[in-house]
């Protein structure tokens, strides 16, 4: 099994090293991907020790790699950042996602709206 693209049902978003993203730290907009090298907890979905959000190297610490909130056992997490326009456009236009688009028309409409009218 590869980790290029998957889905995190906890955070309700696509994950994997094939998914471009921004660091989930609220004061950072570093370009990363949602691969294992950026996940808090160092394991898929965060494992037993992390929140499963994705951070740049400046915002992951220790072993297993964790964000500041998980390292301090504060019981809270940062808020996940939305998908990048690059990723949304890929899902809406690339032929490899055609079946997904056909099977998920409501999600496609919501994504198209989010790109047309970003918050």
Measured CA distances, 118 to 11, 51, 52, 79 (Å): 20, 26, 25, 18
What is the per-residue pLDDT across 73-100, written as a single tens digit (0 to 9) for each? 667 899 999 999 999 999 999 999 999 9
Query: pTM to 2 decimals?
Result: 0.90
Please answer whether residues 28 and 59 qualify as being in contact, where contact means their C-beta atoms are separated by less than 8 angstroms: yes
pLDDT score recorded for residue 95: 96
pLDDT score recorded for residue 3: 78
SS3 category, 116: helix
Report the distance separating Cα 43 and Cα 47, nearest Å. Answer: 5
| Average confidence score pLDDT of the chain | 92
DSSP bridge partners of 54? 39
Indicate whether 109 pLDDT > 80: yes
Indicate whether 6 pLDDT > 70: yes
Structure token digits, residue 33: 């991907």
What is the per-residue pLDDT across 20-70, written as a single tens digit (0 to 9) for each? 999 999 999 999 999 999 999 999 899 999 999 999 999 999 988 999 999
């Amino acid at each position: 099994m590869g980790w290029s693209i998957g889905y995190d049902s906890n955070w309700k978003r696509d994950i994997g090293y094939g998914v471009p993203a921004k660091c989930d730290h609220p004061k950072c907009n570093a370009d990363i991907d949602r691969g294992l090298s950026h996940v808090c907890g160092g394991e898929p979905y965060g494992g037993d020790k992390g929140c499963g959000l994705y951070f740049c190297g400046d915002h992951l610490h220790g072993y297993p790699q964790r964000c500041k909130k998980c390292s301090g056992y504060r019981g809270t997490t940062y808020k996940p950042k939305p998908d990048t326009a690059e990723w949304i456009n890929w899902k809406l236009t690339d032929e490899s996602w055609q079946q997904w688009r056909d099977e998920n028309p409501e999600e496609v409409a919501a994504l198209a709206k989010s790109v047309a009218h970003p918050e």
